[in-house]
A and B are shown apart, each in its own frame.
Chain A
């Protein structure tokens, strides 16, 4: 006989507490109560029996004993007392199969996963036939493959269907999950069995000391492997067509290796390096490549090892996009220096007479010229004619002093120069929603208007005025171009890595609403932001884009996540496959009978002792009792 839910100490503690409460309530119930009555004459007459004269603490010991017995039976039922030997009880085992990326490593007899499956099947054969087993596939997430099943066939089918995943093992989460499902099931917990290589991340330090029923079936083979860890690409700041490429490799094996790393673009070799690696060492090789074209970049380890999946990674390089600026100016040489300094800008200059409304460009610049029809795109107007200005001109002022820049807006970001003087400037009337970029005493002289096609109007010529000698002029134009076409100027970084949890450190803290994390199918992915660190989880190989206002980070998570360390199971954990269980009768649940017996005892106690305590309630509930028995005088009177 044994308890399913409680240990003996827990049961004793619970029963002690319940008994104490029962005795306390009993004594409280029978403590002396003060009662004001109409007269004492009948009470004095009723106080005849000698046993009632003396006040006793426990007047009805049988009542107390019955209450305690009832409580005991209910508590025993709650503890799920079972009839039979604990060894014969049916148990619930959780079989955790390591399906991390490392389990795809090849060994002499197949893969590590095949070896683990064989061990798991052997364990299934060893556990008693009536025991139930749940199969849990564990990589970065613990996923139950079956419920608690007594059918071995179902579990074996789920075992056979298991495949190695792309992420590393999270052993702590898997073991926690196993313990929780055993607790929630509310039956006799069996073993938590871990089958696999148990490779975990170096940062993971599981606290598993408190698992008494843990069994470990480790895979015997320890294959040699080297693999790509990550690839980082970004454009060089001074040359947008040049890529800086960083390939990181690691030696997971026990022997030193020298790895040949090759880099291919469009199937042509663009770089190679020999990387010497000590056991457990991780090193990076840097490459540089300039191209205007988009295509596939492939990094490859030119050597055979146990895990082929991490020997090759492919990333898509996008073709760089340039900003097309169409400048209509009678004096193009004045404006040329403003656009020539930016490698992302491709400026085309045309005289005003050659204006073509069908011409296509990202931004149009109209220098002292008003076209017959508005261009289809963002437009920068420089000193527009008064009659056809896109913004109402309030006045034309001479000897203007520039007093204020709207530096809180991105159009005025970094502009602080004060006291600049202009010979003449148009002062505009700002409409609601307009942004005054620069102002003099009488009003805005550079005005921006958001909309489908953004518009910026300069009330003076920046190059024909004294402003041409100021650093302010190229900065204003840089801000204007960035505001009108932010996508082109967004900084762009590409990384190749492994699936799992990705941590991205931004240059500066960005509000969460300005961050978007999407997959390559533009499906949003949950993420967290803590300061300037963004974290998200990709459970499967895929491409993930993290967009902020100024940056775009592209993660090509195609590499398997191979963990660096090997988990050391606790010393008290059992190892190996247990001997096959002997057959015999299983233990039997008797809590239902105990619960009924407990309830019955409490009902008997109430019938024998409890009813009298509710005399007043009874009188109210059954008034005819009073009518019948209450008035001998009335009977006689009638």
Chain B
């Protein structure tokens, strides 16, 4: 039986004009999306200067030499090459709910990768749960989307989440600071705020994309419930009613607020995305408004 495509062609066409944005300037890199003040290897013309011995002869402006009989060297603008890393939560909790958060996150990840591919950026996709999984480098232009989609399609949810382990491994593996896009429900019993703070303190710019199912935020059930944690298998028996639901929603919103505050405090950004919101609306709505892409 043929499965539905992860991302539709019409949607891809709309993503052609988008770019992933970041705010920080990273040490040793020409960062951000401001025009670079430094000449170097690039595609776009920047300036001329006099030729000095040892310069690359290929950059000599030979037309100017024929006219003026002087050697001028063409200078090019340095392209920004800030590393973009996408952390995709593949823990068991992403598979709960009537509409799968995991599928939603995969589709969003594919959309972001395509945006990066169009702009000739390289995005490293890292699945994670209890630890960091094997990375996949999405690069090479828009025609290289298929391997990325295939990689995302082959992922399956499972395991517990450990943000602490993931943060440690991430910092150890990538000394070069960059943009860290975290696509997750951020549900870790040990807490995700502190590990995320570590990442930010290390110098990464955080883009936190919180995905939740409707029943994650406002459970529809009522009465006597026996609740089982999808990741730990822990059980809780309780009577759930309107008052308890109110408390639940309040707790969930407080958690979302804490993630938002963390992002704001560290110079990053936060976007909350319910799975009921279509991907297209999520990309062109909250993500654009937060200037995560434009």
Contact = CB atoms under 8 A, between A and B. Distances in A.
Interface of A: 29-49, 52-56, 59, 612-619, 623, 626-627, 629-634, 636-638
Interface in B222-252: 222-232, 234, 236-248, 251-252
A630 B230 CA distance: 22
Contact of A38 (B187, B236, B238): B187
Interface string B243-268: 11111100111011101100000000
A49 to B, nearest CB: 5
A627 B278 CA distance: 12
11 contacts: A32-B237, A33-B221, A35-B221, A38-B187, A38-B230, A47-B244, A59-B241, A615-B219, A630-B274, A632-B256, A633-B257
Contact of B236 (A31, A43, A54, A636): A43
What size tier do the contact residues of chain B reach?
35 or more
B214 A630 contact: yes
A637 B271 contact: yes
A16 B218 CA distance: 39
Contact of A39 (B93, B238, B277): B93
B139 interface: no
Contacts of A32: 223-226, 237
Nearest to A32: B224
A287 B229 CA distance: 106
Given A35-B221, A47-B244, A638-B286, A55 B227 contact: no
Contacts, number: 174
B227 A633 contact: no
A49 B240 CA distance: 10
B237 to A, nearest CB: 7
A638 B289 contact: yes
Contact of A633 (B214, B220, B237, B260): B260
Contacts of A44: 236
At the interface, is chain B mostly helix, strand, loop or mixed? mixed
Contacts of A34: 225-226, 228
Given A38-B96, A39-B230, A52-B244, 13 more contacts: A38-B185, A38-B213, A38-B216, A39-B231, A42-B248, A43-B238, A46-B240, A46-B246, A615-B218, A626-B274, A630-B218, A637-B286, A637-B289
Contacts of B185: 38
Nearest to B289: A638
A34 to B, nearest CB: 5
A44 B96 CA distance: 18
B72 interface: no
A45 B93 CA distance: 18
A215 to B, nearest CB: 59
A612 B245 CA distance: 11
Given A30-B223, A38-B93, A616-B215, A47 B274 contact: no
Contacts of A59: 223-224, 239, 241
Interface of B: 93-94, 96-98, 101, 185, 187, 189, 210, 213-232, 234, 236-248, 251-253, 255-257, 259-260, 269-274, 276-277, 285-286, 289-290
A630 B272 CA distance: 10
Nearest to B260: A633
Contact of A49 (B215, B223, B243): B243
A636 B251 CA distance: 17
Contacts of B219: 35, 37, 615
Contacts of B253: 632-633
A35 B225 contact: yes
A637 B247 CA distance: 23
A151 B51 CA distance: 126
A512 B94 CA distance: 77
A613 B189 CA distance: 29
Given A43-B236, A43-B248, A45-B247, A616 B98 contact: yes
A613 to B, nearest CB: 6
Contacts of A38: 93-94, 96-97, 101, 185, 187, 213, 216, 229-231
A37 B257 contact: no
Instruction: Give the 6 A-B residue pairs with the shortest CB-CB distance, closest first.
Output: A615-B220, A616-B220, A46-B248, A633-B272, A32-B224, A633-B256
A47 to B, nearest CB: 5
A49 B247 CA distance: 9
A614 B221 CA distance: 8
Given A47-B236, A52-B238, A612-B222, A632 B248 contact: no
Contacts of A41: 187, 189, 251, 255
A626 B214 contact: yes
Contacts of A52: 238-241, 243-244
A500 B46 CA distance: 121
B48 to A, nearest CB: 46
B236 A46 contact: no
Contacts of B289: 637-638
Contacts of A49: 243-244, 247
B173 to A, nearest CB: 27
B188 to A, nearest CB: 8
Most B CB atoms within 10 A — which of A626, A631, A637?
A637
B224 A33 contact: yes
A433 B237 CA distance: 90
A632 B250 CA distance: 10
A37 B96 contact: yes
B248 A633 contact: no
Contacts of A33: 221, 223-226
A38 B213 CA distance: 10
A421 B126 CA distance: 113
B214 to A, nearest CB: 5
Contacts of A633: 210, 253, 256-257, 259-260, 270, 272
